[in-house]
Structure formats: C-alpha cells, structure tokens
Amino acid sequence: MISTKKHIQQLAAILLAKGITNIVISPGSRSGPLVHTLATNKSFNCRSIVDERSAGYFAIGLSESVQKPVVLVCSSGTSTLNYAPAVAEAFYRNIPLMVLTADRPPYWIDQLENQTIRQNNIYRDFIKKEITLPLNETEKDLWFAGREINETLNRAISETPGPVHINIPLEEPLHDLLDEDLPKVKVIDSVKTQSFLAEKELQHLSEEFNGSEKILILAGQQNPNPKLEEILAEVSEKSGALVLKENLANLNNSEFCGIPDLLITSLLSESSRVFQPDLVITFGGSFVSKPLKQFLRKNKPDAHWHISKANQHADTYQSLTRVIDSTPEIFFEQLLPQLKSKEKTFFENWKNQEKTVANLRDNFVDETKFCDLKVFNKIQKFIPENSVVHLGNSSPVRYALLFEAAKNTRYFSNRGVSGIDGSLSTAVGFASESQKINTIILGDLSFFYDSNALLNKYIGNNLRIIVIHNGGGNIFSMIKGPGESPAFREHFFTENKFSTKGMAQTFGLDYFRAANETDLEKQLTHFYSEKQQKAAVTEIFTDAEVNSKAFRELFKKVKT
C-alpha cells in the first residue's frame, strides 16, 4: 500500500532506485503518507524510534555501522527541532543523513495552527542542501521535485558526504492509500571522481617534503582504512616522518605514536627544538588533545599541509600553508615513490619520549588509589579483541586516550560537536547492525541524559554499557576554572546520586556493579564472558575528588 500523495510516491521510488533503504521513523500523524509508503514496502528496512533526538543519533550510529546513508522521518513542529543536534554532529563528521520532515501547507504557517513552526531552512547552517517540495502535483511540479530530490540525495552521498533535508508540506487527507506499486521515476546519478596531484604539483610537494628534516603527520578521527595505514607505515619508515594519532584515528600500527595528551604534556616545558616539526601534515577529523594544539601553536612548523576533499581550510594550529584536494590514501600513495630515505632521528626522539611517558604513567597508575585512571586502564585490557568501542564525551573520551587502544578494535565517538547528548543512542544504532561486541563507555550524567536510547526494540545482545559513576560532571573538576567557583557543585559538577540499576532493570538489561579494583576485575570478567548472552550495564563507582587529584598529579608528574 502506498500514499495517494504523488510527491511521496516519487520520493520513495527515487530512494529505492538509489539503494537507500535504511529508514528510522519517529511516530506522528502529519508524516502519515511517508510512513504508509515506506513502512509497508518490504524493500525498506524501517525502524521506529519514539524520541526524535535519540532517533537522530541512532541513525548516525547505524550509518557508521553499515557505511551507507540513513533516512530520518518525522512529523511537523518541534519533532523537527529535536533532530538538530544529530544533524549538526553529522555535518561536522560527514555522515550522510537524509532528513525528511512532514510540514503543514505554507498557508497555515504562523496562523496559530497546531504543531506548526517555520520549517524551511531549519537546519541551514548544518546541512549540505535543503529543499521544500511543492504542494501541488502537476506534471511540471513533479518534474521539478524529481530533479531537486535527485540533486539533494546526490549531495548527501558525494565525495564529502553529509546530512541533507527535504521538507514536505502535506494537505489532508493524510491517510488515503492505493494498492499499487511505486511509480517509475527518472534517476539522476552523480559520477564520483578521484583527485590526483598533477605531475608538476607532485614534484613541488615532494621536494618540499624531502627538504624537511622533522615531519609530523597528524591522523584525526576517521573510519578504519587498512590500505592507508599500510602506506603511512611505509612513508614513516622511508622518510623518518612521525605519525601521531589518537584511538579515534583507528590506526593500529605500533610504530605510530599514541597517547598524545600525556606525550605532548611532557614536551610543553621543553626548551629544545628537538620535537618541533618543520612540516605538519593533517587529515581526518579533529583531535581531542588540547596539549597538542597548545604545543603546535607555540612551536609553529614552517609549513602545514591539510589534506581535504572538501577543500576545508582547517587552520587548527595557526600555521596552514597548503590545502590538498585529495584523500590521504591517494596523496600518500602518489608521494611515496618520490621520497628519499632519511635518518630517523626525529622519529626516534618522539618514540623514546613516548616510551618514557608510558612507563611513568603505568607506574603512577599502579601506585594510585582506585579512581577513574585505574578503571580505564583496566577496561582497555578487558575489551575483547576485534570489537567496537564507543566513547562518551567529556571525561570518558579523555581518559580512554591516555592509554593504548585495545587490539584490533574500532573506536568511535561523537566528536563533531562533542556534546553530552546522543552517545548512547549512537552506540545502540551502530550495535543494531553489528555482529561484534559493542562497548559504550560514558559518564553517569551522560547515561541519564540519553536514557531514551534504550526505549526501542533494537537493543542487541552484543551491547555492553559501561557507566563511570563519579557522582556528576567530573570533567569540570579536571579543567581549570569551574572548580574555584562558588557555583561549582550545583551548576558545573551537578552532583548525581542516582544509580543506573533501576534503569537497567526497567529496560531488561543485566546489571553489574563495582566500587573497587577487585570487584571491577571480577565484574568485567563476567561482563565480557562468552556466557553473557544479553545486553548489560556495568556501573563503576569512583570518588570525584580522588579522580581529580590523581588526574592532575599524573599530568604534573609527566610535565616535570
């Protein structure tokens, strides 16, 4: 059965023709024509998520998992606004969400009609393209809408993907149906191309690269890319360039430098130019590490190249000299044969420093009291090989990056806009289409903030939720400023005394609890046991004051 609305028929047919079949629907009446047409067609894989904010993040996780675009469908009014946080995250992470919002006819806007707001251009600053379909259904209107729909969907899945928005005004009746197949439609394909460096430009870049003695390659947040990892290893081995990455870069080669927060902190007071690069090459998303930004802004390289298919002029370190319109894989593959073999002094200095810092960290963690540092150190060792880890924002993502990544494990985090909202929903969406164990590590406030992530039937047995219950927003104890304010405890830290146990039981999840090192080891053993065939929550209780003190002391020790 399909809706009698011809624009809806055409839209659904174009989606199907382009192979876009994953749909996340939030219930509503105005969106009835969309729901009838999509949900009753067996070629579409439709999921129902009541909370639109959660649905948006669920769709991000789902898209990351299947590596395909995902369609969001909602009713009119505030439901459209609730997608906004996820749309912004998708925009800054280049994730192809296709947002379909039902709307009232334009003549009812601002006329005190129910569930009606101004929806045109509602996401204008966080979207690759937005269109509003015509209300009329003449042959010319359908031709025009078909071209617009094709162009909008093509923009979402372009070389630099991202979210798009199709706003759909609908008149009543909304629920009249036809027992017919979807109509035949014209599909406009967008041919993808790859950008290769011209011979003259390649020669110029090669000369500059070969003339640089100290080269630092920064790998930002990205999906796993084994071929790129292999090429980077060859570039590093041949040229002596150092590859610096965080867990979210999903590069597992042990010759690359990790733990940048601690490593760079150990260099901040260095007067020597030994660690200052001549050339910095960046690609991928953002880095979490604040010390890295401080170090490179203070010790500026002579040149900074940023590799970006989107031609993004990302001058994070205030030294940008060149934007390279390519993918990192193609760029380094072209560059590699042109490189001259050089001594690895710069590389060895960094690797030796990393080893020193890692030993210092391990000794410190062994000797300190039970705290978040010990917890994350232990968790990283228990995470199963060949699994997926999702990191919540604020303190979890920072703690996790102080330690080496678990073996052959993929790491994800909502670091586009780095908000508290949506971490759990994203993990649930990813895990719903994953065959691997998916672990989400987040704080207690973040868990409660996004608890509607569990309000659906797509919680797989492969989901493992680790809640670091440190009594509130512990991130504000770790950074300078908020802790000295009289408003700290109530308005920054936001003390929390609620346990997640009741919530876990409400949604039918197994629950584990740990408040010391012995309990933690015991519970994690059960938590990741092959016998654990059900989604579960492990809640780990730590003391906020002990956490903050240990965190600061570690960085102080590393710095001095």
pLDDT tens per residue, range 49-85 = 999 999 999 999 999 999 999 999 999 999 999 999 9
Say what the pLDDT of residue 148 is: 97
Say what the pLDDT of residue 481 is: 62
d(CA 316, CA 319): 8
d(CA 483, CA 156): 43
User: How do beta strands 2-3 and 177-178 pair?
Assistant: antiparallel
Beta-carbon contacts of 436 under 8 Å, excluding residues fewer than 6 positions away, are 386, 387, 388, 462
Q: Which of 102-116, 143-157, 230-244 has the lowest mean pLDDT?
A: 102-116
Closest CA to 15 of 51, 57, 68: 68
CA dihedral 348, 353, 356, 359 (to 10 degrees): -100
Mean pLDDT, rounded, for 7-22 = 97
Say what the pLDDT of residue 33 is: 95
Give 317-369 pLDDT, tens digit per residue. Answer: 999 999 999 999 999 999 999 999 999 999 999 999 999 999 999 999 999 99
User: How do beta strands 279-283 and 242-245 pair?
Assistant: unpaired
Q: Which of 207-211, 452-456, 490-494, 496-500 has the lowest mean pLDDT?
A: 490-494
Report the predicted TM-score, pTM, of the whole model to 2 decimal places: 0.94
State the pLDDT confidence band at 192, using cuts at 50, 70 and 90.
confident
Mean pLDDT, rounded, for 306-313 = 89
Identify whether the C-beta of residue 331 lies closer than 8 Å to the C-beta of residue 202: no
User: What are the tokens at 546?
Assistant: 């002990």
Beta-carbon contacts of 539 under 8 Å, excluding residues fewer than 6 positions away, are 444, 467, 469, 499, 500, 501, 504, 511, 512, 513, 514
State the pLDDT confidence band at 199, using cuts at 50, 70 and 90.
very high
Beta-carbon contacts of 125 under 8 Å, excluding residues fewer than 6 positions away, are none
Residue 491 predicted with pLDDT over 60: no
State the pLDDT confidence band at 312, using cuts at 50, 70 and 90.
confident
Say what the pLDDT of residue 490 is: 61
Residue 139 predicted with pLDDT over 80: yes
Say what the pLDDT of residue 497 is: 83
Say what the pLDDT of residue 162 is: 96
State the pLDDT confidence band at 495, using cuts at 50, 70 and 90.
confident
Tell me: cis bond preceding 173? Omega within 30 of 0 counts.
Answer: yes
Say what the pLDDT of residue 66 is: 97
User: How do beta strands 129-132 and 70-74 pair?
Assistant: unpaired
Mean pLDDT, rounded, for 527-545 = 95
Beta-carbon contacts of 28 under 8 Å, excluding residues fewer than 6 positions away, are 35, 74, 75, 76, 79, 102
Say what the pLDDT of residue 53 is: 97
d(CA 7, CA 526): 53
d(CA 167, CA 170): 10
State the pLDDT confidence band at 494, using cuts at 50, 70 and 90.
confident
Average pLDDT in the chain: 93
For 287: left if phi > 0, alpha if psi spans -120 to 50, otherwise beta; the answer is beta
Domains and CATH numbers, the chain: 2-178 (3.40.50.970), 199-353 (3.40.50.1220), 368-559 (3.40.50.970)
Residue 429 predicted with pLDDT over 60: yes
**More confident site: 110 or 64:** 64
Which residue matches tokens 């609305």? Answer: 5
DSSP codes, 269-312: T---STT--SEEEEESS----HHHHHHHHHS--SEEEEE-TT--
State the pLDDT confidence band at 394, using cuts at 50, 70 and 90.
confident
Q: What does the radius of gyration of the chain's CA atoms come to, in whole angstroms?
A: 25
Say what the pLDDT of residue 484 is: 62
d(CA 286, CA 317): 12
Mean pLDDT, rounded, for 199-220 = 96
Residue 272 predicted with pLDDT over 80: no
Beta-carbon contacts of 401 under 8 Å, excluding residues fewer than 6 positions away, are 246, 247, 248, 258, 259, 260, 261, 288, 289
